[in-house]
A and B are shown apart, each in its own frame.
Chain A
Amino acid sequence: MNDPGRVEAIAGMVRMETHDREALGELITEMTHTVYRHEEVYGQYCTVVTHIDCPARDVFDYMADPRSLPEWTYSVRSLRPTARPGLLVGRDGKDTPIYCRTVSNAEAMTVDYHCAWDQGDELWMVYLNRVVPAPLVLGRPGAVVVWTNCRHPYYDANPFPERAPEQRREWVGDWWPLFYAGHAIELRNLKVLLEHRHRHGLPIAPRDVPGAEP
């Protein structure tokens, strides 16, 4: 009875025992707006979602292979192994080194890219992806991909300015306000590419991107 961890003892929750339908109705009508500010929706977390007309297992296998990144991202290129197992380094755009470790779970079909600009010691730019079979959730063939980024404090201030290329003035976090659009464009790239290969019966796996150094 006196367990301070029992649910009734925890303040700040909304359950029918404390909020009847009327009280809940007041809350949810207040919370439901016609328009939400961009900052409210994408200020701290940025999630983009799409349906891809390609089997979920194929989508997962493709994304779990980091060589796919130079194909569907806007600017990650030339990924190659480092001395550390599983850690790749490439470039983002013209001259920014980007480090990336892919952590995937085949059973859950999650593919997380743990990345960072300039250094590979602390991988704090984490791209969380989950692939869901579309028959399960949409009643149609294909896959649903959910991609989320969280606004790590390093987005707001480069913790390793001494590691940045000399000429570079911008920081990855400068673009956080445009992450929704940027990630939506890249997710659309992923959709267009996978649907093309699937529709034409082509091998799904990533190819070597021409012009990329080994």
Chain B
Amino acid sequence: MMQVSLLGVAAYMPETEVGNEAFADGAGERRGMFTAPKTRRWVGREETAASMIEKACGTLSQRLDLDFARDVDIIFTNVAVPDQAFTGCGADVAHRIGAKPRWVVDLHNTGCVSFIYMIELARAIMSANDARGALLCTVQNAAGRVFSNPAVRSSSQSPVPGDGCGVGFVAAGDVAPIVSLVHRVHPGNASDMVAYADDGRHYWEPGLSPILLGFTPERVASIIERGNRMVPDMVMEACVAAGVDHRELDLLVTNQPNPIFLRNWREALELPAERHHDTYARYGNLFGAGIPVNLDDALAQGKLAPGALVGLGGFAHAGDYTAAAVMRWRADR
């Protein structure tokens, strides 16, 4: 398969910062799977996923000196709560940034690991065609659009999600090579996360009851067990494929469902906390935006050194998709 590189990332975070006073009393003291971040961002009612991507892309194009019309052959998007019911926002993004892609792929799967999955799809499309540049766009907007609802704010899981947008640019070449990438679908876990309303209405049926996202209660223990296990397994598999020892990773960046998973993953991979960078305390669970936002934050904080060996990994939803990659960050910045 063609050698591709992740040349850079950028983030856009919505302005509205929300503290734990917005939720049920004692939300800030919860531990375990519902450990609240200190703060998180919420998208406003009028803020679209496409506009968030547009803002992040503005930063990205400056950083990488990109000409979207010339450089972008493929646009991928993954949006937690899509702007429109019937279609994704990739074409709208292309219009806003002046890109002329031949492929627009609005992914509605792989949630929290969509960024890694997009790298793999970019590599596959580039290997089979003459495409050379891919824009990867991830948006988490479920916090503002779902969990800010006054009727669901008091639920245990409402403080956990936070909104944000992360984008990345993948191009053919070996400037910042993806050394290995593994991904796997786990069909048996597909139905363990559900969107539901307490009164039983389907989300497309008219009604006033709020929609919630949650795990099937009787599967919670199993989801914790598989979450703990799958991510280190995949990162180790990617490391084996890359011919490196997982303890040699200079930086590990994962999705960030909660601090317990983060702790367990780095313990399993025998990495000290400072080499597993996350933004959970500030931004909460960023779903698919977690990996690029954390990469961007690591870069800003000087934790992503030129030439660093970086591990990416995570799992989606209730464990229906897992992925990991090992890459060498570019040596020139």
Contact = CB atoms under 8 A, between A and B. Distances in A.
B218 interface: yes
Contacts of B218: 169-171, 174
Contacts of A171: 218
B270 A177 contact: no
A9 interface: no
Contact of A170 (B217, B224, B225, B228): B217
A23 interface: no
Interface string A41-83: 0000000000000000000000000000000000000000000
A6 interface: no
B155 interface: no
A68 B220 CA distance: 30
B221 A175 contact: yes
Given A171-B218, A174-B218, A34 B270 contact: yes
Interface string B207-224: 000000000011111101
Nearest to A40: B229
Interface string A167-188: 0011100111110000000000
A169 B268 CA distance: 32
Contact of B228 (A38, A169, A175): A38
> Which of B220, B221, B268 has the most A CB atoms < 10 Å from its CB?
B221
Contact of B267 (A35, A39, A176, A178): A35
A38 B218 CA distance: 20
B193 to A, nearest CB: 16
Interface string B234-272: 000000000000000000000000000000000110100
A101 to B, nearest CB: 27
Nearest to B216: A169
A175 B222 CA distance: 7
A84 interface: no
Contacts of B270: 34-35
A178 B268 contact: no
Interface string B264-286: 00011010000000000000000
A21 interface: no
A132 to B, nearest CB: 30
Nearest to A43: B225
Interface string A14-35: 0000000000000000000011
A178 B221 contact: yes
A177 B230 CA distance: 14
B268 A35 contact: yes
A62 to B, nearest CB: 30
B232 to A, nearest CB: 8
B221 A174 contact: yes
Contact of B268 (A37, A174, A175): A37
With most chain B CB atoms within 10 A of its CB, the pick from A37, A169, A177, A178 is: A177
Nearest to A178: B221
A212 B212 CA distance: 37
A39 B221 contact: no
A177 B224 contact: yes
B225 A177 contact: yes
Contacts of A177: 221-222, 224-225
A17 B304 CA distance: 54
14 contacts: A34-B270, A35-B267, A35-B268, A37-B229, A37-B232, A38-B229, A39-B225, A39-B229, A169-B217, A170-B217, A171-B218, A174-B219, A174-B220, A178-B225
Given A34-B270, A177-B222, 19 more contacts: A35-B267, A35-B268, A35-B270, A37-B229, A37-B232, A38-B225, A38-B228, A39-B225, A169-B217, A169-B218, A170-B217, A171-B218, A174-B218, A174-B220, A175-B221, A177-B221, A177-B224, A178-B224, A178-B225
Interface of A: 34-35, 37-39, 169-171, 174-178
